[in-house]
Chain A
Amino acid sequence: MNAPLVDIRDLTIRFTGERTVYAVNGVSLSLGEGEVLGLLGESGSGKSVTMRALMRLLPKKRTVISGSVSVAGQDVLAMDDATLSAFRGRTVSMIFQEPALALDPVYTIGQQIAESVKRHEGASDAAARARALEMLELVRIPSAKRRLDAYPHEMSGGMRQRAMIALALACKPKILLADEPTTALDATVQIQILLLLRELQREMGMSVIFVTHDIGVAIEICDKVAVMYAGQIVETGTLGEIVRTPQHPYPQGLLASTVHGARRGARLQTIPGTPPSLDAAPAACSFAPRCAHAQQRCTERLPPDVVLAPGRTVRCVLAEDSVAVS
C-alpha cells in the first residue's frame, strides 16, 4: 500500500498570548489519493486550525505546534519559507468561506490567476493568461473572457467563489483544502458550488479535505468523515457509517438534534450544555459533561481511541466495551 498523501500524526496546536488556547489536541488523520474527507465540527472544534496547520498559515509567534504533518512525503512543519511558498498553491491549495476577503481587491481575477501560474510554473504572460481563461471556463463562469478583467467586487458571491476555486486549482494541486466554502452562499448557489467541486474533484483526481459544520453539506460531497469536538477527532468512518451508525455520543446527538424531518411542535432532541472552553489541555473526555452515557472513568482519564476497523475509529469508552465483548 502506498503511503497516504496527507499523514497527520498527533498534531497539537496551542495558541499563546494573553490567554492560552488548546485549539487542537492530538489529531491524527490520513488522506489517500482521490479521497474526499469531511472534517465535521462546530465552531471552535479545531477543524479550521487543523487545515491552517497543513498550509502553515498560523501566526508563527503565537502558535506552538507539535506532532508531525507530512504531505506527499514532505515534512510540512520543517519547511523553510522558500519551500513553503513553492508548496502552497502547487501541492496544496485552500479555498475559504469568504472569497471577498481571500481575493486581492486591487487586482483583476485574471491577473491573480496568471500570477500564480507564472510563479509556480514559470509560464509566459500569454500562457498564464490563457490558463486563467481556461480555469474560469472550467468553473463555469459565464462570459469568462470578459470576467478575466473583472475585479472581485464586480462579481456576485457565487461568482467570486467560483473565481477563488479557479485560482486555487490553477496549478493543479494534489490536495484542495476547502474551509466552509459554501457557508456564506445562498441555498440555490451553495448546491451549484458543491456539485461543481464534486465534478472537478472527479475530473482532476485530486484529494479534498472539506471542512464544514453542516452535515447536509458533508453528505453531498464527502467519502469519509472525521468528526471533531474540542480539538480532537472523536469519530472517523465512511460517510455512510457516520450518518447511519454513529458510535460516539456526540455525533449521535448531533444527528438526532437535526431539525430535518422533525414534526412541528415535537420537541427536538438536544445535546445539553455548551462546548468546553479550551484553556487547558484535556485530561479526560471533553464531551463527558454533556454526555448522557458518561461514567466515572470518563471524567478521570482520556478516553481510548478505539479502532473498530481500518479507517473506523471512535474515541469513547463505550466503543472499547463493545470491542471487548465481540
Chain B
Amino acid sequence: MRIVIGQGSCGIAAGAEKVRKALLGADINCEVSVTGCIGMCYLEPIVDIYDDDNKLTRLVKVSENDAEAIASYINSGDKSFIEKLEVSAEDSEFLSKQIRIALRNCGIINPEQIDAYLEADGYTALKKALCDMTPEEVIDVIKTSGLAGRGGAGFPTWFKWNAARQSAGEEKYLICNADEGDPGAFMDRAVIESDPHNLIEGMLIGAYAIGAKHAVVYVRAEYPLAIKRLKNAIAQATEKGIIGNNIFGSDFSCDFTIKAGAGAFVCGEETALIESLEGHRGMPRLKPPFPAQSGFWRKPSNINNVETFANVAWIINNGGEAFAAMGTEGSKGTKVFAVTGKVKRSGLVEIPMGKTLRDVIFDIGGGIKTGKEFKAVQMGGPSGGCIPTDLIDTVIDYKALGATGAIMGSGGMVVMDESTCMVGMAKFFLDFTAKESCGKCIHCRIGTKRMLEILERITNGEGKEGDIELLEELCYSIKDGALCGLGQTAPNPVLTTIKYFRDEYEAHIRDKKCPAGECSALIEYKIIPEKCKGCTLCARNCPVNAISGTVKNPHVIDPNKCIKCGKCFTVCKFGAVVKE
C-alpha cells in the first residue's frame, strides 16, 4: 500500500501538510508521498490510498485527527475505519465527467520527482520532436491540432510560432507567461505545482519549433510553491540533460530561466511582461512591432501561456488530429476552467470545447451551494463579463462566449447567486483594473478611475440619472482608445452587467435600493419582533451597541447607530434579522 497526499497550494492551505506530518508520525508501514492538485479543491485535504493492486481509495476532507483511523485501516484493511472519509459517488463524478489533457498528470504523479514524470511517458514527445521531426513539422502538427492560446486571446498557437520561426535573427526567445493574475483563475498554478515537467517539455518543443535557444518562465511572485517546484524540476531536467546542450543527442540546445514577477497584473500583457523581464516598469509597449519581430531584448520572441504549453507534449504524442477531434468548429481540444464562487463543487474542470456552461456549473460543479438561485457566471475575470441565467446553455467556444460580451479568458468561472450585487461586481472589477492600470495611457489611467468613481457613487446611493449612459460612453471610448489589452477590455464587466442587469443599476440609481441586498449604503437591518426570541446574541455581537432589548423580549436596532456591518444578520439563529 502507499499513501499519496494532494499538496497543491490549496491542499496545503486546507491542512494537507498537517495531515502528512500526522501520517508520518503514525504507526504505519507504508510509503507516504505527495502529489499535486487533483482539482477537487472543495474536498481538500485529499488522501489517496493505493493498495498493492494499485486500486485507489480516495479520502477527502481529511484532518490530522484522522491519521489514526487511516493507520488503523492500513494496518487492518478494515474499511469501516475510513468509511466516513471516503469520497462519495456523487463527488467522484466531478472527475469522471472530465477529459484531462493539460491536467493529465495533476494530482496523480509526484511533481517533485522527474522519474514520476518519466514513468508517465514524460519527455517522449520532446524526444520524438527533436529526433524525428523538423521544426516545421512540429508547427504543422500544432496547426492541425487547432490549439489556440489559452491565456485569454485565443490566438492560434501555430501562427505565433511560425511568425517567430520566420523572423530573422539567430537569437530568439521562448517565453512562458505564468503571470496568472486573473482573479478567479488558478489552473496555471496547478499545472506548475502539480506537473512542472509537462510545462518544461511543452516549452522545449516550442523553443525547438521557433528556433529559440533560451526559454524563460515569468511566474507570479504570489506563487512561491510553483516557483519552488519549477526550479526543482529545471534542476532535475538539467541534470538529466533534458535541458542544456544537444538535448537527446540532437543539435538542439536550450537553457531555461525563471523570473519571478513582482505583483502587477498588467504584466500578463505580453509587451509589459517583456518590459518586466528586462527589469523595467511593466508598462506595455506600442504594437507594432510585435514580439515575434522585436520582443525580449528586442529579439524575436514568442510568448504562450502555461496551459497552452501543457497541451503540447500530448499533441505531439497523440497527433494533431486527436486533439482537433474534440471541440467545435472554431475551438479545438479541451479547456481547463477554475470553477469557484457560490458553486457546490469548486475546483479545476477540464472538458472538451463544445460543452455548455450548464454542463460545467451544474453537471460537474453541482449547481449553487447555498440553495439560492443561480444568477450569473463571471468569465474571463477583469477582461471578461457576466453571463446571466438565460444564456446558461451557451456553448464553450471562443466565438460563442465572445458573442455574450464575456470572453473565454484564461478560464476563470466565478459563479454567483441572487445575493451577489451585479453593480457591486462591476465595481469590484473596476477597482481591480484601476489599481492594476500601469498608468501609461489616459483612457485606462483616468478612465477606469472615473468609471470606478461613478460605480462607487451608484452603490453608495448617490447615483444620478444619466450615470448609466455616462458609463457606457466611457466604456466604448476606453475600449477604443486604451493602449493595451488590459485597458481595452477593462469595460467588459461593466458593459455586460449593464447589458444583462440594467434594472439593478436603475434600482440603485432611482430607488436607492440594492436588490441583492449587498450594498451596505442601501440596506437597512431590522429585527422582526415576532421571530426574535430575545436571546441577546445579536446585541452582544454588535460592535457599536446599536441593538437594545432585554432577555426573552424582542430586540430593536437603532438605525442611527447601525454601521451595517451585518454581524447581527450573520449570528441570528432564528432568521429574525432581515436586510431591507
Partners in one complex: no
Question: Hey, which bits of chain B sit against chain A, CB under 8 A?
Answer: none
Question: Hey, which bits of chain A sit against chain B, CB under 8 A?
Answer: none
